[in-house]
Structure 1
Amino acid sequence: MRRSLPIVSTLIVLLAASYFLIPLYATFQFSLQMVRGQWSFEAYRSVFNSDVFAATVTFSTIASLAAILVGVLIVVPTAYWVRLRLPRWRPVVEFVSLMPLIIPPVVLVFGYVRLFGSTSYLPLTLSNAGTNTLLVAGYVVLSLPYMYRAVDNGMAAIDIKTLTEAAEILGASRFRTIAAVIFPNVRSAIVSGAFLSFSISFGEFVIASLLNRPAFGPYLVQIGQDRAYEPAALAIMSFALIWACMVLMQLFAARKPGGRILPRLIRPSARSVTP
């Protein structure tokens, strides 16, 4: 019985892997058949030579990075304050962070249009900058469950109370404690959440399409309606990007949070004092 367990588990893993790898291989093989009678990377070359592809990738990258920055600035202080001062509110905050998984993105974007449309007091949809702001806000909301879980798990691995008390004894303000002590100690957790957020925001379609933004997700759908081989190449490249983010996330997640000391917070007078 013990000898049969590795065989059964191996078969289960192979069947589960084939469910994903076989369609992926078929898509990759189809993307190489743009030139009849031979396999080539002509579809990939055609995609890279397109100016629209470069513009959409650049736009989605900038929007995703902006969403990551805003998400970190919101999530890290919130998770820190909830764990330090408001532990009873933690279930409520966790429930709120899970709401984007329950509310569909189409409801979210129609709410944005309703609140910030042309008839509102703050008509952000009338300008490109305002619409881009709504897009980044939508990306922040979509990535909130993943960013909050990553940061909260990172803070659970360190002693926030002791670090805060040590920083306050050394004369640090609350803002400097978060910036110089908490951020470095949960850096690996923040980076893991950032990669996961980037993989979600980069290929997002619903919000970018309804806000009429030149993002990568709508471009992928649009090119799929006009051509045959280029969409397969784009799908392979998007999968490769997501997998690269997953690998980087695992590498950073393997680093244990903590292990940082507070030398920059020590005042010169405190360093010169001898016990």
Structure 2
Amino acid sequence: MAFDSTSTYVATEALKQAVNAAVTLQRPLLIKGEPGTGKTLLAEELAAALDTPLITWHIKSSTKAAQGLYEYDAVSRLRDSQLGIEGVENVANYIRPGKLWEAFTADRRVVLLIDEIDKADIEFPNDLLQELDRMEFHVYETGETVAAEHRPIIVITSNNEKELPDAFLRRCFFHYIEFPDRQTMQRIIDVHFPAIAPRLVSEALEVFFDLRDTPGLKKKPSTSELVDWLKLLMADQLAEEALYQRDPVKAIPPLAGALVKNEQDTHLLERLAFMLRRQGR
């Protein structure tokens, strides 16, 4: 298998090499990068390219590693035993398979996405070391061992909210998605909007990268937010004209709610615009 860009996803050479290396080594691919740089979308495109199912495990702060294996519903079993329901003696009826179980027992190789692993407790990655290494785990309630029939391709994403343990990192192939430069961003826009006006792209990219370069900005606009902004500009002729005729000392570009996502950054841009107006007097 050789992963490449698709009709809906632009992959850099470095990213292609990382995906192919992880598949060759049969190791989880750990992807880091700014929010909105296509980490989750990579797993979706990889599954589509392989024509195989994607199994997604979205991680939350409360998620425990064991939930990815299975959960034993002891409460339901106790209730059913009190009600005299048939089958209560079979503990397997109360085992709920998790996402790893689902991936391990699939009838063909699947792509397993463990999304935003850094949201969980610091011990979460360590608790999965053996399962990801051996591709099997033991179900204590039934005494069975669940082993991968077809080794899944595992993609793990992180927004770098917390450091991951060294023992976990050693078992992964790591890649950091650099924020796209202007040329790569142009390719991404072409994929999403093949018929977009070149002037609109040029003006929008100028504003977008100027915003990202603003000192002190709390949240820099992402690729996905640029795509949303362009979609709005294409649908609103007045906003598009306002972009073309924008005054450099105005605070915020038209429809900037797609790009600027908090009041601190809004106030920062307004203060910078005020200072530019004073300097221009």
Give the structure with the larger helix fraction.
1
The question of a shared fold, defined as TM-score above 0.5 by the shorter chain, is answered with no
Give the structure with the larger strand fraction.
2
What TM-score does the superposition give when structure 1 sets the normalisation length? Answer: 0.23
Which of structures 1 and 2 has the larger relative contact order (alpha carbons within 8 angstroms, sep 6+)?
1
What TM-score does the superposition give when structure 2 sets the normalisation length? Answer: 0.23
